[in-house]
Amino acid sequence: MKFSTTDPASEPASILYARCTVDLKSGSMHTEDVPCRNLEDVLGGFGRSFQILSERQINTAYCEENPLIVNTGLLTGSSAMTGMRTYFSGYSPLKESKKGLPAAMWSTGSGNFGVKLKWTGLDELVFEGRSPKPVYAVIRDSPEGPVVELKPADHLVGLSTHAKIMALQKEYSNAHFAAIGQAGEQWENVYFGAVGLSTDNQLKSGEDKMRFAGRGGMGSLMGYKNILALVAQSSNKIKPLTPEVKAVNINVVKGGGAARLQPISRGGGGGTWAAYDVLQAFHAVPVNNFRPQGNDLPEKLFREHVEKQFMIKSEACYRCGITCHNNIHEKSEDGSAGSFLAKFDYEPLNLLGTNIGIHDARQAARLIHLSDNYGMDSISLGVTISYVLSYNERHPEQPLLNGATFGDFVKIEELITQTGRGKLLEIGRGSKRLSEITGETSYAYHVKGLEIAAYQPETNPGYAWAIAGGHMSMGTYGLLTREGKSDIDSWVTGITQTKLQIVGFDMIGLCKFFDITKGICTQMVVDCLKSEFNLEVTTENLAAAVRRAFLRGLALELRQGYEKGEYTLPAEVWEQPNPNIKLPNITNPEFMAELQKRVWAVFEPEMAGLLPEIE
Amino acid sequence: MNVTIQLIGTFQIGRFKEAVREYPSGTCVREVINELRIPDPLLGVVLINGIHAGTVDILINGDTLCLLPFIDGG
Ligand code: SF4
């Protein structure tokens, strides 16, 4: 980026970002410095990409006019801790309104690809059209500026995410990679393809320790465009750590923000896996398609039980002191770590474990491994499978597909393998479409066409207003469980004021674990921007930009045909209230109706004028 | 007075899962947290008899105090 102001809020046009537009059909490309329209453009990520998407009327995700936008955030590649994010945006093949129009979507992941991409000198790639043949794109720095090339990718066809990355590593040194798996290649039948992002750990060890941009099928959109992988090749351009950023980084690791995600050996909480123990105290760990049974079944995948059998390595993306990854290895006879099995983050572990009746750590690891290597979003995959299992439990005489039921590992493994290979469009197109075919929609656990995360909907009415997936684009998932808020005022304030700020992380290039409760509108972020770019920004400027970006996303949903009635939860929640969950029941129709009325009363007036007119 | 203390997740490491402990009357939750050396950044939820409570709340004889770690996305 090029800065000729210190005041990005008042003079955004004095900041230019480098964008390369690639016409995949002709192979032509055009790099330009684009002036920022507002602070959202300066911050980047979805704050910028959604403005590009809002300029287009897209009626189906798989069309040449739907771009795939790959960008970074302002602090990606900086010395600020967790500054490693890459964003993939486009109209989603998976998330759609009841009218059948695709929703704008982004997904994001860490790993080192985003850092390398930033260091090539490019801030954004816009892929237009569709390549006639499979290709991969190489982005590299050069004395003349960033260079982008498309290369034939026939040798990558049919490989897993990990295998593609390892194959490319042999050709490109000093590079990092983003790759789809077989699922993304089978985009017609898999709408939730993910993008795997390489980590240093993966490239050094050869183990499939990737991070993923999973949500909303951006890997499938990449597959539709016939782009199988991206290579970012650059020398290391990290700036020397200043005392100011160093102080922030120490605060991130040692202060309130991320201490609880640190490894247990360092006095932390042990990553997101710790949610199992906490939610189980309320019998709110999803079991068998989001129907907790009030028993101790979820405890079988508690860390304390898993570590008796396996070695758990706490690992991190390069340079990150948070170390939030829990990687499960075989335990060798001498007690050392054997072969790598899978990562145990809370979401994949629950949704490909307890929530499909799998309580054996080795089996859960195998399913996560398959999901990652075929390149699927573990949330959408797991929840669509749990829908199938729930249907089969209700219809034993006429089950769906192979008749799998909760806990039937062999048949579930077969479902995942077949879906990853593009052979099971019933699962590959997600729970909304499948439930509309069966006619039994009440227990399909999606909101607005996107499967929910591993937090019971009974505990989170805020799911309804999340603009890009349940827990990471609306931070209300702990409002009842953690904060004990069951009154309507707290929920209106949470959704419309405090908890929407979580999406700021998906603009600026930082992980949410940088400071998940406070968001990006903090002195820590202000200090980083001053130190890294000499930008003078206030926390109020940041909060306003994040709010505008969020509301633009909401306005874009309405323009894509969403009706107010779709801002709701799966009907089973109130049709069959679950008596086992030990929390106040707030998700009754009356509460939701009042919440809808009051939330829209706040949001709607502010949404006016946020989207450009389109023909 | 006797208070039943329940610890969840990593709070059990080096401590206990559940124990009945004796405290002087008027003891508040904060004093128990300090006594058990539970680090503040890790503390997520306080329940007294299953109801969300705060660290300044006063415990009474027969209460069950449950301390839970923070949860953070996935
Ligand atoms: S918080 Fe976790 S995912 Fe984010 S950069 Fe650090 S180690 Fe990677």
- A113 falls within a domain: yes
Structural domain including A82 reads 2-233
- Work out the minimum CA distance from B6 to partner chain A, whole angstroms: 10
Residues 6+ apart with CB under 8 A from A488: A591, A594, A595, A598
pLDDT (0 to 100) of residue A449 = 98
Contact A278 B73 (CB under 8 A): no
pLDDT (0 to 100) of residue A318 = 87
pLDDT (0 to 100) of residue A263 = 86
- A185 falls within a domain: yes
- Work out the minimum CA distance from B24 to partner chain A, whole angstroms: 27
- Which ligand 1 atom is nearest residue A513's CA? 1
Choice among A261-270, A408-417, A569-578 with the minimum mean pLDDT? A261-270
DSSP state of A238: P
- A507 falls within a domain: no
CA distance A373 to A366: 11
CB–CB of A448/A566 below 8 Å?
yes
Two tokens at A423? Answer: 């052979």
Q: Measured from the CB, is residue A374 less than 6 Å from ligand 1? A: no
- A92 falls within a domain: yes
By three-state DSSP, how is residue A561 classified? coil
**pLDDT band for position A257 (cuts 50, 70, 90):** low
Residues 6+ apart with CB under 8 A from A541: A8, A9, A39
Two tokens at A391? Answer: 């249907």
Per-residue pLDDT of B1-27, as tens digits, reads 999 999 999 999 999 999 999 999 999
Choice among A94-103, A250-259, B25-34, B63-72 with the minimum mean pLDDT? A250-259
Could you give the number of structural domains in chain A? 1
- Which ligand 1 atom is nearest residue A261's CA? 1
Per-residue pLDDT of B53-68, as tens digits, reads 999 999 999 999 999 9
pLDDT (0 to 100) of residue A433 = 98
CA distance A595 to A482: 20
Residues 6+ apart with CB under 8 A from A239: A78, A79, A532
Going through A162-253 in order, the beta strands assigned E by DSSP cover 175-179, 195-197, 211-213, 227-233
What whole-number percentage of chain A has pLDDT above 70? 100
pLDDT (0 to 100) of residue A262 = 83
CATH assignment of the domain containing A53: 3.60.9.10
Cβ-based burial of A393 (10 A; exposed 0-12, middle 13-18, buried ≥19):
middle
Per-residue pLDDT at A536 exceeds 70: yes
- A11 falls within a domain: yes
The CA A496 to ligand 1 mean position distance, Å, reads 28
Average pLDDT over residues A393-400: 98
Q: Which residue of B has its CA nearest to A262?
A: B42
User: Which of A75, A78, A82 to mutate to test ligand 1, by most ligand atoms within 8 A of the CB atom?
Assistant: A82
- A121 falls within a domain: yes
Contact B68 A281 (CB under 8 A): yes
Domains of chain B plus CATH, in order, are 2-69 (3.10.20.30)
CA angle, corner B67, sides to B61 and B68, nearest 5?
A: 160
pLDDT (0 to 100) of residue A269 = 81
Per-residue pLDDT of A445-464, as tens digits, reads 999 999 999 999 999 999 99
Per-residue pLDDT at A298 exceeds 90: yes
Per-residue pLDDT at A402 exceeds 70: yes
> Interface pTM (ipTM) of the complex?
0.95
Per-residue pLDDT of A41-66, as tens digits, reads 999 999 999 999 999 999 999 999 99
Residue A157, phi-psi category: left (phi > 0), alpha (psi -120 to 50), beta (remainder): beta
> Looking at the DSSP assignment, which residues form a beta bridge with residue A344?
none
Q: Which of residues 511-570 of A touch B (CB under 8 A)?
A: 512-513, 516
pLDDT (0 to 100) of residue A130 = 98
**pLDDT band for position B73 (cuts 50, 70, 90):** low
- Work out the minimum CA distance from A346 to partner chain B, whole angstroms: 5
Cβ-based burial of A585 (10 A; exposed 0-12, middle 13-18, buried ≥19):
middle
The amino acid that residue A295 corresponds to is: N
- A187 falls within a domain: yes
Per-residue pLDDT at A13 exceeds 90: yes
pTM comes to 0.97
Per-residue pLDDT of A352-394, as tens digits, reads 999 999 999 999 999 999 999 999 999 999 999 999 999 999 9
Two tokens at A465? Answer: 């207003």
Contact A478 B71 (CB under 8 A): yes
The CA A507 to ligand 1 mean position distance, Å, reads 16
Contact B10 A279 (CB under 8 A): no
pLDDT (0 to 100) of residue A159 = 98
Per-residue pLDDT of A491-517, as tens digits, reads 999 999 999 999 999 999 999 999 988
- Other Cβ atoms closer than 10 A to B9: 27
Average pLDDT over residues A468-488: 92
pLDDT (0 to 100) of residue A271 = 83
Residues 6+ apart with CB under 8 A from A442: A570, A571, A572, A575
pLDDT (0 to 100) of residue A256 = 62
Contact A478 B51 (CB under 8 A): no
The CA A13 to ligand 1 mean position distance, Å, reads 32
- A611 falls within a domain: no
Per-residue pLDDT at A575 exceeds 70: yes
CA distance A271 to A292: 23
Average pLDDT over residues A210-236: 98
Contact B69 A268 (CB under 8 A): no
Q: Which of A278, A362, A371, A271 is nearest to A313 (CA)?
A: A271
- Work out the minimum CA distance from A582 to partner chain B, whole angstroms: 8
Per-residue pLDDT at A35 exceeds 80: yes
